[in-house]
Amino acid sequence: MVSESSIEGLCIPGAQTDCMTNVLRRMFMADTAATGAKRQGSEREVFPEILQLHGYDHLGMILVSTPLTSTNYLTWSCSIKRALRAKTKLGFIDGSCTKPDVNDAKYEQWMKVDSMVTTWILNSISKDIVQAYTYAKSSRNLWLDLELRYGGCNGRLLYQLQRSITSLAQGNLSLADYYMKLKMLWDKLIELKPTPQCTCHGCTYGATQAIADSSLFAQLLQFFMGLSEEFDNVRQQILVMESMPSINKAYSMVASVGKQRMVHLVSSENVGLHTQLRQKESLKESHEKSHWKTEEINIVITVRGLDTLERLVLNSMEHRIGTRN
C-alpha cells in the first residue's frame, strides 16, 4: 500500500516532479478507496441484511395506517407481517431469526434491531391496548402475546367466515360490489387457514396443485351460487365448459354480459322516451280540435299519463262531432 508520506520521497527533481507527484497521489487515493470498500464489505458480511438498520429506520415509524383494536387482529397482523417482510425483519416475529449467544459478535446488533422492531409494533397498537404490552421483553414475545390474546379464537372466526361466504348473495348489490365482498371474505379465510402444502421436495405426486385447484373450484361455485338470476344463462354456459376458468376469468365473462345488458337497456329507454315525446307533441297539436288548453294537457300528462290524455281528447272530439250532428 502506498502511503501519502512516501510520495514526496519518490518524486524526481526537475520539470517532471509535479507530474510524477500527481500520478502517485492518484495511486494513493485509489488504494485508499479500495481499502475502505473492503472494510465496508467485511462489515456487511458480519451483519446480514436482517440485522441492518438504514437511515430511514427510526423509532417513531408506524408500519400500518390502522392500529390494532380488539376486533381487527386478522387484517392488522397481515399488514404488519407484510410491512416487516418488506423491511427484511419478519424473522424477528416468526422465530426464524433467533437471539444469538451473549458472547456472539452479533448479539448487540440483534438486540438493537429487535428493540426497533418491538417499538414499531407498539406504535401500531391502539392506545387502549398498548399499555398492557409496554414491557415486552422482545418482539417475538410481544407478537406471541398479541396472537394469543386476539387471534386465539380461530374456530369461531372460521365458522363466521364460512357462514358469511355461504349466505352472501348479490341481491341489490352491483356485480362489482358483490365480488369485492366475496373476495374479502376469501382473503380473510386464506389468511386464517392457509392452503395445505405438500412437504415432499418438488411435490412429484401433484398434491399441492390438486389442493390449490380444488380450493379455486370451490370459490368459483360460491361465486355462482350467489349471483342474481339475470346471469343464469352465462352461469350455465360456464358450468358446462370442459375446462373450468379461473375465478377472475369467470368474473370477467359475467361482467361482460352485464355490460351488454346495460347498453341494451339504455338503448331501449332512449327509444321509449323518444316515442313518448312524439306522442306528446302529437296530442298537443290536436288541442285546438278538442278545445283543450295547453296547460290542461300538461297537467293531465304529468298526473295521469299520455294514455289518459289520449282517451280524454278522443272523447272530447267525439262529443263535439255528436253535438254538431
Per-residue pLDDT tens for 223-256? 999 999 888 999 999 988 888 888 999 999 999 9
Higher-confidence residue of 178 and 22: namely 178
| CB neighbours of residue 178 within 10 Å | 20
pLDDT of 7 > 50? The answer is no
11-20 long-range Cβ contacts below 8 angstroms, 24+ apart: none
**What's the whole-model pTM score?**
0.57
Mean pLDDT of 170-198: 86
* Band of pLDDT at residue 66, cut at 50, 70 and 90: very high
State residue 181's pLDDT score: 94
State residue 47's pLDDT score: 83
Per-residue pLDDT tens for 132-163? 999 999 999 999 999 989 886 677 788 888 89
pLDDT of 201 > 70? The answer is no
| Distance in angstroms (rounded) separating the CA atoms of residues 90 and 83 | 8
| Distance in angstroms (rounded) separating the CA atoms of residues 116 and 22 | 47
Cell of 69: 383494536
Cell of 93: 416475529
Mean pLDDT of 3-12: 49
